[in-house]
Chains A and B, each alone.
Chain A
């Protein structure tokens, strides 16, 4: 019992870092107050300081800043009214303050003083303008990118996992696959671009193939090393308990290798982003990569920045989703490993 309790406290302590740094409800949240004032300040700068480079939506940006300040005040006064969101906002309080200052400086050096030259740099309201006026095309691009990535990543992960398990388990499979992996694996997937556009019937399927290729390599290697590093005693135990070959693979080797597999899945996701953008720039006429290309071609740099921000958010959300899946699948690791 004591062992269980000790462990429970250990991991709630590890998980509770965010809760600790958030102030207790009831105590005045000074960081929040400062951040709110700063957001009101940047709103005032945007609204009242006359612009050198006139742009629409300055007023809307100022209103947004005031809304952020209002949200901070709400959290400040009500404490835990918003539940988990409030905890999150309190945890990132210092970031809110810094972001307000950053926005103010950005506004001043672009729209107000024009220190940064116009076509290459955009003011904050310039980017807001893209989101307000071009949201339809942007969201369609995001949709295309996510669909393409999902297809390629899915096939790549499945193929990589299957290959990894096979070569980790079977000596004969390893004999034939290792040299191929060693030769082809280190090549960047984009090097296959011309060939795959020739072989595959459409640029869409070629792009799926390239993304799958980029994903499969790290997943294969990590799955294989995971299977290879399974404690031999697990097999002995299972065999004396009457386990068949299939039981040894599916109930012993694969579960034991899963932590490695997830490392491979994370690495594969990272490489697949890079290939996605290249594939969309060169082949498919849709998606964020294509949008970036298009924006550059028209020197619409505000659109490019806006798309880059969306892309960053998309990638980090996908990584977060994979983290959530891992947390669920490998929940047994919580007491063993510091995440």
Chain B
């Protein structure tokens, strides 16, 4: 981790990720007048710099939790704290990467990545970071391309670059590889780990892919069906880089599937 930190992508040495404390968070939507509970008394903490996966069936409320962490929505009850402070409005220290890259089609790749710096009014002083982060995701040759000219994997890399250029201390990943073809997906899983190691931030990944959760993260929180509550907390105590054929991963996979109620399929 120390070795990769010395890259051209500036990483202030004092900076680490944030600590996240979620306690007794419940949330519900109004659906045709009736309340629809999506989160039920969810509590957990994430240590600074940790990479955590939230694993669970589709539509169980994991993505809602990420929106709460980003500050885009506020919980019905309970508290979410980052480094001890209650989460308020959205801000560039906590960035959400969606399943769809959602690039702005009228902006070039460079301008898309520069969006955050522009919004914060620091583009003139730190425009160089855009080039650095584009190099980091391997797209420095595509700065002038428009989003429609990119493949799905490239577009998602741009979306990652758009997040990373702001030097976030908490990266929220909402199934960022969910729509990619399986080969691109495998490549980008390895890239994600490398980016997280380089940037030394706290990262929370929402996924419904058991292998992805185990291969990427240090800890997997398994959610039950809606309204979501945590049914298991599985530490993945394996060093990086990991190997997909590792028998320990296979064992953890069995445990995770069991908690998801899919043990019979194994």
Chain A residues packing against B (C-beta within 8 Å): 2-4, 7, 231, 233-234, 236-244, 247, 251-252, 255-256, 258, 330, 332-333, 335-336
Q: Is A240 a contact partner of B72 (Cβ separation < 8 A)? A: yes
Known: A240-B90, A240-B95. A332 touches B105 (CB 8 A): yes
Point out the residues of chain B lying under 8 angstroms from A3, CB to CB: 149-151, 154
A residues near B107, Cβ cutoff 8 Å: 255, 332
Cβ-defined partner of B148 (8 Å) among A233, A243, A336 = A336
Chain A residues lying within 8 Å of B70, measured Cβ to Cβ, are 236, 240
Q: When A3-B151, A4-B149 are in contact, do A244 and B106 touch as well, CB less than 8 Å?
A: no
Identify the closest chain A residue to B89 (Cβ).
Answer: A239
Asked if A335 contacts B102 (CB within 8 A), the reply is: no
> Can you report 17 residue pairs joining A to B where beta carbons are below 8 Å apart?
A2-B151, A4-B145, A233-B100, A236-B70, A240-B71, A240-B96, A241-B95, A241-B115, A241-B116, A241-B120, A241-B162, A242-B91, A242-B116, A255-B106, A330-B106, A333-B105, A335-B146
CA distance A242 to B89 in the complex (A): 9
Give the chain A neighbours of B237 by CB distance below 8 A. Answer: none
Residues of B59-116 whose CB lies within 8 A of A: 70-72, 89-92, 94-96, 98, 100, 102, 104-107, 115-116
Enumerate chain A residues within 8 angstroms of B92, measured Cβ to Cβ. Answer: 240-242
The answer to whether B264 has its CB under 8 Å from any CB of chain A is no
CB distance from B86 to the nearest CB of A (A): 17
Residues from chain B with Cβ under 8 Å of A241 in the complex: 92, 95, 115-116, 119-120, 162, 166
Q: For B91, what are the chain A residues with a Cβ–Cβ distance below 8 Å?
A: 240, 242
In the complex, are the beta carbons of A242 and B72 less than 8 A apart?
no
The answer to whether A233 touches B166 (Cβ under 8 A) is no
Give complex CA distance A237, B149 in Å: 21
Smallest Cβ-Cβ distance to A242: which chain B residue? B92
Q: Nearest-CB distance from B32 to chain A (Å)?
A: 20
Does the CB pair A242–B120 fall under 8 Å?
A: yes
Q: Do B119 and A243 touch (CB < 8 A)?
A: yes
Interface centre among B96, B98, B149 (most CB of A within 10 A): B149
Residues of B contacting A: mostly: loop
Which residue of A has the minimal Cβ distance to B91? A242
Interface residues of B (CB under 8 A from A): 70-72, 89-92, 94-96, 98, 100, 102, 104-107, 115-116, 118-120, 142, 145-146, 148-151, 154, 162, 166
Instruction: Report A337 CB to chain B, min CB distance, Å.
Output: 10
CA distance A258 to B106 in the complex (A): 10
B72 nearest in chain A by CB position: A236
Knowing A233-B100, A236-B96, A336-B148, say if A242 contacts B166 (CB, 8 Å): yes
Whether the Cβ atoms of B106 and A256 lie closer than 8 Å is yes
Is the beta-carbon distance between A251 and B118 smaller than 8 angstroms?
yes
CA distance A4 to B100 in the complex (A): 20
Q: Are the CB atoms of A244 and B119 closer together than 8 Å?
A: yes
A240-B94, A242-B119 known; A256-B104 Cβ under 8 A = yes
Shortest beta-carbon distance from A136 to chain B in Å: 46
- B44 shortest CB reach to chain A, Å: 22
When chains A and B are docked, how far (Å) is the Cα of A165 from the Cα of B98?
A: 27
**Smallest Cβ distance from B160 to chain A, in angstroms?**
13
A234–B104 contact, CB under 8 A? yes
Q: A7-B149, A242-B116, A332-B146 are in contact. Are A237 and B98 (CB under 8 A)?
A: yes
Whether the pair A335, B148 counts as a contact (CB closer than 8 A) is: yes
Given A3-B154, A239-B72, A240-B72: A335 and B149 interface contact (C-beta under 8 Å)? yes
Beta-carbon contact of A336 and B105 below 8 Å: yes
Query: Apart from A236-B98, A240-B72, what are 9 other A-B pairs with CB-CB below 8 Å?
Result: A233-B98, A239-B89, A240-B94, A241-B92, A242-B91, A243-B119, A330-B106, A332-B105, A335-B146
- In the complex, what residues of B have CB within 8 A of residue A240's CB? 70-72, 90-92, 94-96
B72 touching A234, Cβ below 8 Å = no
A251 to B104, CA, bound (A): 10
Shortest A262–chain B CB gap in Å is: 13
A247 touches B119 (CB 8 A): yes
Lowest 9 CB-CB distances: which A-B pairs, in order? A241-B116, A243-B119, A242-B92, A335-B148, A239-B90, A240-B90, A3-B151, A242-B120, A332-B106
On chain B, the residues within 8 Å of A238 by CB distance are 115, 119
